[in-house]
């Protein structure tokens, strides 16, 4: 587990610039510190206004059940009158006050991130993705671990002069969560498919309305790429004053409302999918589609749909076989007499004692203990499952009258008779009757507590079952592939079916659903930097000839050759200007040392979007320098220096 770094050691990502820019930086950092101070104060204010002071549900005058159910879970422990008081203090609406309270309580779960914002490492904008994706994590250990990894990552980049924008942090957040919680997020993705569709939205101005389109990442990327290709194919007209967004809408209207009449040529949509060998073989590592993070299963399904390769089917078949074997395995029946009645009687007496739970260990501590014992092999899952099943079976038989009471009452009371409403209470009058009623209530409570204890046992059995499923995954080919540190280890761990499917995919040429032959990206194991981009036939020739793989050779002219161009665009993937995340798939490759003085090779070329390419040559006061290891150093007119490296794989 990664422990969060000391927030007090964090500092701003960049030094202060000269003049007015430096003053703006100071003000921005002060705004971040003030935002953190307000969050902490609002969280403390919420703690001072507990809901226990309000009328409980069901009491006359209490909040209606509908409003209570609609309250965010974070606000349920807070008095309903806290928001009206806050709205007066901050001169805002009650809804705004509730939102501020909820936001403060959510961000209070991320103390290190708040401290980093206070220190200037993060801005308020960085907190939004943390609030949306990290703070809601229910497991506090996992939440702290992810928070620490993210802050260490931002601080490490800042230490070498690389800035991290909110968008870059959001991408890193999605990668970390997808890597840690891949199968749960896959289930969430399946549930999210129900939200696919096209919906009318409200007015966006006088005479304007909106149309919302929600689909999977591949669907939306393909749709946008197709519309963009249609716009790029339109004839150039200097008198056309429409923006690109307006042209995209007009093309969509032509294709949908006037099919066959628009005269638009057919277009080919090109999506770039970057996936590790582990992902292709059934592992959980996320992939990248046109620069956007997608789950491993989404990547495999997209490749399978386009090529019919069947990637990951071997791992799934193995899991199905394990599940079928588990379903066929029946716990053995107890031999001889019933389970030791004295043990069960002792357990039931504990249930009937003052403690509600015979094992009063908190749930989070108990779960952490189970996970640690599972990891060490101390718990034998098969034995524990059989014991839990035997316990559950005994209680069912006891309820059916097949077993005697293990803890009989030494002084049983005679069966009660139905008294007449006019008869006085038997056996001593009204006080005796009240005492018997209390005894009956106490007995009912004890039965309920025992039922809760049995339910707890069933919950534990479910946890053991989940743990067994997780262990089956980890020991199966999918888990071994996912845990592999390199591609060769993953290939050895994969099933024959998955290795065959991957080989068939890499042998394919362009055509059908593939715009190009699939490429193999060989990357540095430590930095993730692209070393070589090749394909399966070229890799075989290099192995046969004993030739090392690397970047393509230089090109003699101004423009790079196809192989070098492909390598550079896959290496950089995003504009190299600090903080810019625009793709370079359609951007421009720039010579740092002007051609022909500088060569057209992988060291002297870098990808920029069109705007930043213009800025490199036209923006006054900026300097750009490329180091020998490919690091770009940009210095602003105010004296601030920032560095960027190609996006690691």
Q: Give me the pLDDT at residue 187, please.
A: 58
Q: Give me the pLDDT at residue 344, please.
A: 44
Q: How far apart are CA 287 and CA 293, in angstroms?
A: 6
Q: Is the pLDDT of residue 337 over 50?
A: no
Q: How far apart are CA 150 and CA 144, in angstroms?
A: 10
Confidence of residue 155 (pLDDT cuts 50, 70, 90): very high
Q: Is the pLDDT of residue 323 over 90?
A: no
Give the chain's mean pLDDT: 77
CB–CB of 46/101 below 8 Å? Answer: yes
Angle between helices 20-48 and 82-90 (to 10 degrees): 150
Q: Give the mean pLDDT of 238-242.
A: 88
Range in 172-186, 219-233, 395-409 the model is least confident about: 395-409
Q: Give me the pLDDT at residue 341, please.
A: 47
Question: Which residues, 6 or more positions from 15, have their beta carbon under 8 angstroms from its beta carbon?
Answer: 639, 640, 641
Token output for 261: 């009449």
Please give the angle made by the CA atoms of 422, 428 and 430, to the nearest 5 degrees. Answer: 55
Q: How far apart are CA 474 and CA 481, in angstroms?
A: 9
Q: How far apart are CA 266 and CA 524, in angstroms?
A: 40
Q: Give the mean pLDDT of 129-153.
A: 91
Closest by CA position to 381, among listed 302, 316, 326: 326
The H or E element that residue 605 is part of is strand 605-608
Angle between helices 341-351 and 430-475 (to 10 degrees): 110
Phi, psi (degrees; rounded to nearest 5) at 30: -65, -35
- Look at 474 and 170; give whichever has higher pLDDT: 170
At 639 the three-state DSSP class reads coil
Q: Is 290 left (phi over 0), alpha (psi -120 to 50) or beta?
A: left
Range in 13-22, 204-213, 335-344, 464-473 the model is least confident about: 335-344
- Considering Cα of 203, then 204, then 209, then 215, what sign does the dihedral take? negative
Token output for 50: 């507990």
C-beta neighbour count of 53 within 10 angstroms:
10
Answer whether 0.85 is exceeded by the pTM.
no
Closest by CA position to 41, among listed 100, 81, 91, 95: 100
Q: How far apart are CA 506 and CA 583, in angstroms?
A: 25
Q: How far apart are CA 13 and CA 35, in angstroms?
A: 18
Question: Which residues, 6 or more positions from 175, have their beta carbon under 8 angstroms from its beta carbon?
Answer: 286, 293
How many CA atoms does the CB half-sphere of 422 hold within 13 Å?
A: 0
Q: Is the pLDDT of residue 66 over 70?
A: yes
Q: Where do we find the tokens 């149309």?
A: 211
- Look at 644 and 422; give whichever has higher pLDDT: 644
CB–CB of 394/338 below 8 Å? Answer: yes
CB–CB of 574/580 below 8 Å? Answer: yes
516-526 residue pLDDT tens: 778 888 888 77
Confidence of residue 8 (pLDDT cuts 50, 70, 90): very low
274-316 residue pLDDT tens: 888 777 777 777 788 777 777 777 777 777 776 676 776 666 6
Please give the angle made by the CA atoms of 342, 347 and 353, to the nearest 5 degrees. Answer: 125
pLDDT above 90 covers a percentage of the chain that reads: 22
Confidence of residue 532 (pLDDT cuts 50, 70, 90): confident
- 273-274 vs 287-289, strand pairing mode: antiparallel
- Look at 395 and 46; give whichever has higher pLDDT: 46
Range in 155-159, 535-539, 588-592 the model is least confident about: 535-539
CB–CB of 135/117 below 8 Å? Answer: no
CB–CB of 287/278 below 8 Å? Answer: no
How many helical (H) and strand (E) elements, i.e. helices and strands, does the chain have? Answer: 24, 12
Closest by CA position to 231, among listed 213, 218, 209, 246: 246
Q: Give the mean pLDDT of 233-248.
A: 87
CA distances from 121 to 164, 393, 424 (A): 9, 58, 79
Partners of 274 in beta bridges: 288
CB–CB of 574/645 below 8 Å? Answer: no
Burial class (CB in 10 A: 0-12, 13-18, 19+), 460: middle
Secondary structure string (H, E, C) spanning 157-212: HHHCCCCCCHHHHHHHHHHHHHHHCHHHHHHHHHHHHHHCEEEEEEEEECCEEEEE
Token output for 583: 């793709």
The H or E element that residue 642 is part of is strand 641-644
Token output for 494: 């994969």
Confidence of residue 1 (pLDDT cuts 50, 70, 90): very low
Confidence of residue 468 (pLDDT cuts 50, 70, 90): low
């Amino acid at each position: 587990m990664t422990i969060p770094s000391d927030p007090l050691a964090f500092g701003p990502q960049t030094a202060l610039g000269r003049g007015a820019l430096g003053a703006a930086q100071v003000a921005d950092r002060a705004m971040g510190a003030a935002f953190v101070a307000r969050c902490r104060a609002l969280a403390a204010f919420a703690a001072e206004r507990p809901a226990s002071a309000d009328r409980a549900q069901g009491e006359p005058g209490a909040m209606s059940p509908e409003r209570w159910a609609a309250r965010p879970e974070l606000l349920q422990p807070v008095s309903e009158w806290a928001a009206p008081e806050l709205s007066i203090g901050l001169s805002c609406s009650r809804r705004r006050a509730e939102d501020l309270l909820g936001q403060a309580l959510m961000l209070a779960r991320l103390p290190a991130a708040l401290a980093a914002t206070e220190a200037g490492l993060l801005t308020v904008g960085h907190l939004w993705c943390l609030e949306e994706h990290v703070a809601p994590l229910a497991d506090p250990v996992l939440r702290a671990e992810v928070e620490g990894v993210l802050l260490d990552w931002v601080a490490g980049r800042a230490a070498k002069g690389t800035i991290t924008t909110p968008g870059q942090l959001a991408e890193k957040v999605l990668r970390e969560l997808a890597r840690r919680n891949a199968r749960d997020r896959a289930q969430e993705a399946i549930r999210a498919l129900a939200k696919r569709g096209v919906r009318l939205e409200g007015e966006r101005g006088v005479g304007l309305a909106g149309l919302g389109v929600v689909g999977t990442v591949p669907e939306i990327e393909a749709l946008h790429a197709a519309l963009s290709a249609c716009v790029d194919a339109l004839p150039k007209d200097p008198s056309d004053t429409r923006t690109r967004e307006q042209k995209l809408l007009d093309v969509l209207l032509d294709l949908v409302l006037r099919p066959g009449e628009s005269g638009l040529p057919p277009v080919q949509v090109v999506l770039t999918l970057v996936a590790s060998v582990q992902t292709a073989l059934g592992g959980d590592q996320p992939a990248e589609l046109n620069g956007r993070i997608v789950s491993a299963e989404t990547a495999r399904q997209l490749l399978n749909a386009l090529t019919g390769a069947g990637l990951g089917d071997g791992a799934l078949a193995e899991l199905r076989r394990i599940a079928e074997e588990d379903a066929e395995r029946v716990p053995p029946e107890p031999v001889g007499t019933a389970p030791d009645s004295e043990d069960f009687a002792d357990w039931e007496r504990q249930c009937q004692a003052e403690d509600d739970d015979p094992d009063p260990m908190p749930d989070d501590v108990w779960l952490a203990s189970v996970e640690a014992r599972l990891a060490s092999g101390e718990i034998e899952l098969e034995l524990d499952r059989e014991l839990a099943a035997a316990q559950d079976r005994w209680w069912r038989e006891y309820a059916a009258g097949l077993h005697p009471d293990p803890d009989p009452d030494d002084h049983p009371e005679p069966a009660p008779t139905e008294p007449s409403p006019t008869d006085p209470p038997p056996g001593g009058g009204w006080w005796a009757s009240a005492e018997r009623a209390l005894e009956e209530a106490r007995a009912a409570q004890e039965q309920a507590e025992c039922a809760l204890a049995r339910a707890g046992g069933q919950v534990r059995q479910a946890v053991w079952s989940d743990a067994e499923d997780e262990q089956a995954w980890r020991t199966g080919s999918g888990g071994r592939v996912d845990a592999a540190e390199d591609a060769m280890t993953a290939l050895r761990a994969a099933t024959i079916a998955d290795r065959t499917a991957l080989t068939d995919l890499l042998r394919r040429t362009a055509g059908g659903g593939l715009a190009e032959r699939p490429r193999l990206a060989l990357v540095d194991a430590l930095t993730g930097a692209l070393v070589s981009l090749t394909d399966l036939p070229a890799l075989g020739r290099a192995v046969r000839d004993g030739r090392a793989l690397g970047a393509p050779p230089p090109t003699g002219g101004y423009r790079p050759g196809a192989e070098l161009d492909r390598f550079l665009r896959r290496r950089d993937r995003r504009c190299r200007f600090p903080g810019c995340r625009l793709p370079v798939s359609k951007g421009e490759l720039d010579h740092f040392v002007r051609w022909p003085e500088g060569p057209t090779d992988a060291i002297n070329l870098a990808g920029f979007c069109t705007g930043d390419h213009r800025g490199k040559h036209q923006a006054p006061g900026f300097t750009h320098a490329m180091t020998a290891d490919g690091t770009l150093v940009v210095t602003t007119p105010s004296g601030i220096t920032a560095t960027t490296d190609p996006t690691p794989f």
